[in-house]
Structures are given as C-alpha cells and as structure tokens.
C-alpha cells in the first residue's frame, strides 16, 4: 500500500488551496495529536477533513468505527479504496452543512470531534459546531495558532475579542501545543496549534440569548479602543452597565464572559 507520505511527496494528489489542503507529514506530530485526543474503542468519533488519512488511520486503529466528513471527491475516492465501510463511514460533502446530530444514537454516547481543519472555514465551522455543543463530549482541532490564541485568550489581553467571548461562553478552551509549518505538505505560512474544546455543562453555564450576545459583542468590539459607554450607547445605558458590574469606562476586551452574559440577561429581561 502507498503510504500517505508517499502520496503527498509524489503529489499523486495535488493539494487544493480552495479546500485548505495542508497535509500532515510528520509521524511525530501525528502521534502527539492522536495522544492528545486519546481515542477509546467505543468512542463515537467524527473527523472533519480526513484528506489523505494522516490522522484517520491512527484514529481508526483506536476506535471500533470512525466517521469522517470530506468535501473533495478525489480524496473520497482514495479513502474508499483504502478503507472498509465496516471501519469507516465517509460522509461526502461540506462540513459547514453537515448535520452532526444524525450521528448520535443514544444521548449517553456523545460525539467526539477532531480534525486538522481547513483554515479558510475555521470560524464558520466552529460556529456551526457550537449548535451541537450539547451533543458533544469534546473537540480537538488543528487551527492557525493566531486563531487558537484568540479562542483561548484571557480578558485584558489584546487577543480577547468576539471569537473568545462567543466560544468561551459555550466551551472550556485549552491550547495544547504548537505545530510548525514544516509538519505539513505544502507548508502553510504561519504556525498552527492544537486546541481542545469541552462543552460547558448546564450548571457551568449561565444561559443567555446567543443571538443577542453576538450582536452586543460585535458592537462592543467594533472599535475596541473605545469605552463601552460609547460603543454600546444604543444598546445599554450607563446605569444598566453598572448594574451588571461593567464599568461604562471599560473597554470590551476587559470584560469577562460572565459579565457579558449578565448584561445579555439584563437586556433580555427588559423586553
Ligand atoms: N486531515 C488531513 C491531514 O491532517 O493531513 C487533511 C487536513 S487539510 C488541512 C483539510 C481537509 O479538509 C482536506 O482534506 C480538505 O479537502 C477538507 N475540507 C476542506 N473544506 C471542507 C469542507 N467544507 N467540508 C469538509 N471537508 C473539507
């Protein structure tokens, strides 16, 4: 059998930029990622973008059955040739439109999601997956390091922004390790990182209107150097901000997720 690395090296498959194809070529990095995921035989695991199966193969060795979602027809043909449907179910199509809940059979067996994600769709994909968060056990992704830094940022740092609030509202987020460009074929221009997302349980999360949260943080971070009393002047007056513990003179990047949630719930209660 031709190995993944040979297929890439000899460019049997020409990587497609439009599908964000940077294939992992480093056995050491692949091992480390699979170790971080920690697959178990009975896991209900789905990999997004299997590509040439660099992660797929070791994942399949660890779990009884694996699901993958892939958009590129040429790659799907290769996967079908190499792997039996007994071990691997290939869902052909766009992960952005994929209904992940169809994989769930019993509520106790939640989904484990993994993937070296196509960078061009990483944010929309994270938001799409957030819709299924209550059916998910955990997610491990390779993303651009800069995106992971924003996802995991603490309030008060320059990286804390809309993406941090919207994802930290729903998940515990941990940056695990950095992966350099040389681990991929072709090498991307920037560093990548592995991130772990674990959905918060209902008791860990104060529920709020997510659509309103999105609207408010977009306004708040619109001009991030400005004080909130300016950026939010059409949404919340100073006394409302103070009543939920947000200083009207604060900047959006200083306000932690819990305070945003208090603000949204106060706004919702008004209507
Ligand atoms: N997992 C492989 C690896 O680590 O070497 C490939 C990773 S590559 C960065 C991204 C993969 O996602 C490619 O196989 C690409 O074809 C696939 N892909 C791109 N856009 C997609 C989409 N919208 N839905 C599903 N798969 C997609």
pLDDT at 14: 86
Q: What is the mean pLDDT of residues 259-268?
A: 96
Q: Are residues 215 and 195 in the same domain?
A: no
Average of per-residue pLDDT values in the chain: 94
Q: Of 179, 202, 225, which one is at a domain's C-terminal end?
A: 202
- Indicate which atom in ligand 1 lies nearest the CA of residue 47: 1
Residue 95 alpha carbon to ligand 1 centre in Å: 9
* pLDDT number for residue 38: 98
The pLDDT of residue 84 is above 60: yes
pLDDT category, 206, cuts 50, 70, 90? Answer: confident
CATH number (domain holding residue 261)? 1.10.8.100
CA of 169 from ligand 1 middle (Å) equals: 27
Nearest atom of ligand 1 to the alpha carbon of 19: 19
Print the domain residue range for 226. Answer: 210-269
> How far is ligand 1, taken at its centre, from the CA of residue 79, in Å?
13
Sign of the dihedral through C-alpha 164, 167, 172, 177: negative
pLDDT in tens, 129-177: 999 999 999 999 999 999 999 999 999 999 999 999 999 999 999 999 9
Residue whose CB lies within 8 A of the most ligand 1 atoms, among 51, 53, 192, for a mutation test: 51
- Residue 225 Cα to ligand 1 midpoint, Å, equals 36
Cα gap 142→117, rounded to integer Å: 6
Confidence of residue 207 (pLDDT cuts 50, 70, 90): confident
Q: Please indicate whether residue 181 or residue 1 has the higher confidence score (pLDDT).
A: 181
242 C-alpha vs ligand 1 centroid, how far in Å?
A: 46
Q: How large a percentage of the chain has pLDDT more than 90? A: 87
pTM of the model: 0.94
Task: Report whether the peptide linkage leading into residue 98 is cis, meaning its omega lies within 30 degrees of zero.
Answer: no
Those residues with Cβ within 8 angstroms of residue 219's Cβ, 6 or more apart along the chain or in another chain: 231, 232, 234, 235
Same domain, 46 and 86: yes
How does residue 5 score in pLDDT terms, banded at 50, 70 and 90?
low
Same domain, 33 and 143: yes
Dump pLDDT digits (tens) for 184-205. 999 999 999 999 999 999 889 8
Domain count, the chain: 2
Q: Do 135 and 152 sit in the same domain of this protein?
A: yes
What's the per-residue H, E or C state across 248-262?
CCCEHHHCCHHHHHH
Are 176 and 247 in a shared domain? Answer: no
Protein residue with least CA distance to atom 19, ligand 1: 19
Q: What angle do CA 32, 123, 212 make, to 5 degrees?
A: 130
Label residue 211 by pLDDT band (50, 70, 90).
Answer: very high
Q: Are residues 216 and 195 in the same domain?
A: no
**Is the pLDDT at 182 greater than 80, yes or no?**
yes
**d(Cα 179, Cα 183) in Å, to the nearest integer?**
7
User: Who contacts 108 (Cβ-Cβ below 8 Å, separation ≥6)?
Assistant: none
Structure tokens at 252: 């959006």
pLDDT at residue 6, rounded to an integer: 60
């Amino acid at each position: 059998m031709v190995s993944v690395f040979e297929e890439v090296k000899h460019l049997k498959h020409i990587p497609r930029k439009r599908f964000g194809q940077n294939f992992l070529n480093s056995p050491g990095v692949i091992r480390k990622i699979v170790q971080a995921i920690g697959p178990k035989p009975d896991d209900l695991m789905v990999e997004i973008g299997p590509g040439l199966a660099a992660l797929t193969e070791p994942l399949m060795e660890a779990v009884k059955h694996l699901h993958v979602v892939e958009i590129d027809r040429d790659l799907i043909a290769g996967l079908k040739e190499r792997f039996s449907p007994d071990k691997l179910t290939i869902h052909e199509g766009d992960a952005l439109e994929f209904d992940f809940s169809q994989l769930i059979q019993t509520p106790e067996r939640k989904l484990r999601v993994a993937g070296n994600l196509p960078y061009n769709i990483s944010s929309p994909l994270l938001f799409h997956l957030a819709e299924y968060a209550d059916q998910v056990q955990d997610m491990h992704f390779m993303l651009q390091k800069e995106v992971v830094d924003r996802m995991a940022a603490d309030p008060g740092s320059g990286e804390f922004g809309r993406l941090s609030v919207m994802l930290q509202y729903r998940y515990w987020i941990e940056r695990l390790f950095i992966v350099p460009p040389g681990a991929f074929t072709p090498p991307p221009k920037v560093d990548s990182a592995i991130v772990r997302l674990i959905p918060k349980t209902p008791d860990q999360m104060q529920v709020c209107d997510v659509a309103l949260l999105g609207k408010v943080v977009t306004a708040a971070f619109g001009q991030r150097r400005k004080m909130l009393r300016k950026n939010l002047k059409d949404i919340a007056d100073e006394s409302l901000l103070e009543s939920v513990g947000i200083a009207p003179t604060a900047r959006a990047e200083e306000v932690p997720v819990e305070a945003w949630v208090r603000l949204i719930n106060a706004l919702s209660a008004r209507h």
